[in-house]
Structure 1
Amino acid sequence: MKIVALVRPAGEVPEAAQVLAAAAGMAPAEARMRLAPEPPALIARLAPEAADALVKTLRDAGLAALAIDESEVAERVTARTVTFGAAQATFTPRAGAPLSMAWEDVTVILRGASSLRTQSEHTEKTTKVALGTALITGGLKMTKTAEKSVRGSQEETSQVVFIFDRDGRGAVLPEMGFDFSCLGPAMQPSRTANMVTLARLVRERAPAAFYDERLMRLGRRPVPFVLGGAVQVVSGATSHSRINTAQGLDVLAEAIRLGVAQGDLP
């Protein structure tokens, strides 16, 4: 399957919505909804031939559309450490072979964030003395039971820096699990500050690369057509839901990478 995305604003939305609705066979209202988010916006998930045909139709209409092949994700290494050399960087994962990139080959640097939201709901029963009930029943029943729903929610945010080269290879520098001691004297006292430092150091060494941090906002939102991001479990009177936007963030990063590679960005 392929996911069709727009990497630039649709411009005149009513006209763009008409083109999308006609090409994808969707209602005009749904087409407008798909075009509404800030790009990169995921607008359809189709079989490869249908996705390619939709992309061609949208591009012929002047829209910056592209298709992300779910089965051909670019090679990426999730690094635990990075070595900043004069001519190249070496990204070393926790396990497996390291990835080296020449600074002159780095084309895209993205800073983003994903969100893990958990929500729970359960029913609590309480018993208390009820004088009215006691009077009515002649003392046979002295209490009454009340029920109420108790809801709780929690959100955790995690940053990441994506680095891609002209061959499509990628390094992922995650906030969680990264060994910031490799920064040496540049190491900061907090993970958040260290992520800012990582992005800055990479940008300084690859100044010609396209840099974007809109995924700091967009990556925390659930996106359509990305499977595996939401789980809900119900057990008796208790329900738990979990939404993780990390996979959606990965797809959005790939959309931006492809947009740069195809000349649609910046």
Structure 2
Amino acid sequence: MNNTSSSTTNEVLATIMSHRSIRKFKNEELTPFQIETIVRAAQMASSSRFMQAYSIIGLTDPALKRELSEIAKTPYIEQNGHLFIFCADLKRLTVMGTEQEKQDMRMMLESSYLYQIAVIDTALAAQNAALAAESLGLGAVMMQSVNKDIRRLDQMLALPEYVVPLFGIAVGVPDQQPEVKPRLPLEAVYSENRYPSESDMREQIEAYDDGMRHYYQTRSENNRDACWSRSHIDLLKMQLPVGSMTEYLHDKGVNRS
């Protein structure tokens, strides 16, 4: 199989295959129609047991955007057409329950099983949102960096128990046209009936690393000498604050068991 995007007249596939993360936007706010269209498209994503276990918060207050941008050291958090914060949301499932029912639900709400459902629901909705934005001629970038200080973000958004901010999506009119970043070979991510051998995977990744070195060295901006595997090995060798995310999730009442 060839890892290449085929030329196609299918507009959905053409939009998917031309995806690039846009990090520079023109100074134009999204219209109410564009915002509503993106959110409605997000809502049409698949949802486990139809829980729809996510919330989307549009961050429009300039002061809050500036503060979050300074915390995350990410300028396009502030400089975009609209900033969406996607949250895993199990709170909504409890609202109509009696106090006794809320107690009866607590064990399930605190489980890793239900938190995983909420994370997957949120991710699926976000991918729909990004695709919708791009289909409207806009650009988008997903950002986990909004969680650099997750407790501060939690306070800024006044999030209740069982609601966890996962990532943001900055959307706007593109002010750059970066090249499409090459993906892993299809054979490295798709196999039939069993997981591929490590030797096969190593061979595929070595070839991919060569291609990524060429991409990074020749792209139109932010050139560097790097490859896929070494970048992620170095990333995974970094030390994270001990227990910070685990403790935060437990404090929010999720992912405890």
TM-score range relative to shorter protein? under 0.3
Structure with max Cα Rg: 1
Using CA pairs under 8 Å that are at least 6 residues apart, name the structure with larger relative contact order, 1 or 2. Answer: 2
Normalised TM-score (structure 1)? 0.23
* More helix by percentage: 2
- TM-score (normalizing by structure 2): 0.24
Q: Which of the pair is proportionally richer in strand? A: 1
